[in-house]
Amino acid sequence: MNPDALRGHMDALLLSVLEREPLHGYAIIEALQERSGGALNVPTGTVYPALRRLERIGYLSSEWATVGGRKRRTYRLTDSGRKQLEGERSAWRQFTTVIGGVLRADTTGTT
């Protein structure tokens, strides 16, 4: 998966995996792998800064927890983030429609 292709869609992915339940960064990376059938291997250097950014914007909130001697920062969707996720989904649909339409370009039979 070309890294550049992810540009601008990372937020939607992160918000989406957090929709059902709060998760910590490492678990988010695993969730993305699983849900994508292994296609999405997002490095920590991408995920952690992105999560912080989303929290700063107000789409996520976080709190520390210690599980089995290891510290985790667990992120959860805020109301604002849940609303944003809706927006991301509709933006995604529009995006795929527009780009897909240009790429298909079946305009063979113009006349």
User: Which residues bind to DNA, rule: CB under 7 A?
Assistant: 3-4, 6-11, 24-27, 42-46, 48-53, 67-74
Choose among DNA, a second copy, none what residue 68 binds, the Cβ cut-off being 5 to 8 Å by kind. DNA
The burial of 111, by beta-carbon neighbours within 10 Å (0-12 exposed, 13-18 middle, 19 or more buried), is given as exposed
Contact call for residues 51 and 75 (beta carbons, < 8 A): yes
Choose among DNA, a second copy, none what residue 79 binds, the Cβ cut-off being 5 to 8 Å by kind. none
31-90 residues near a second copy, rule: CB under 8 A: 32, 35-37, 39-40, 88-89
The verdict on 96 binding a second copy (CB under 8 A) reads yes
| Gap between the Cα atoms of 54 and 46, Å rounded | 12
Q: At 7, give phi and psi (nearest 5°).
A: -45, 120
Choose among DNA, a second copy, none what residue 94 binds, the Cβ cut-off being 5 to 8 Å by kind. a second copy
Which CA distances in Å does 62 have to 10, 51, 54, 95?
18, 9, 10, 30
Binding site for a second copy (CB under 8 A): 1-9, 12-13, 16-17, 19-20, 32, 35-37, 39-40, 88-89, 91-92, 94-96, 98-103, 105, 107
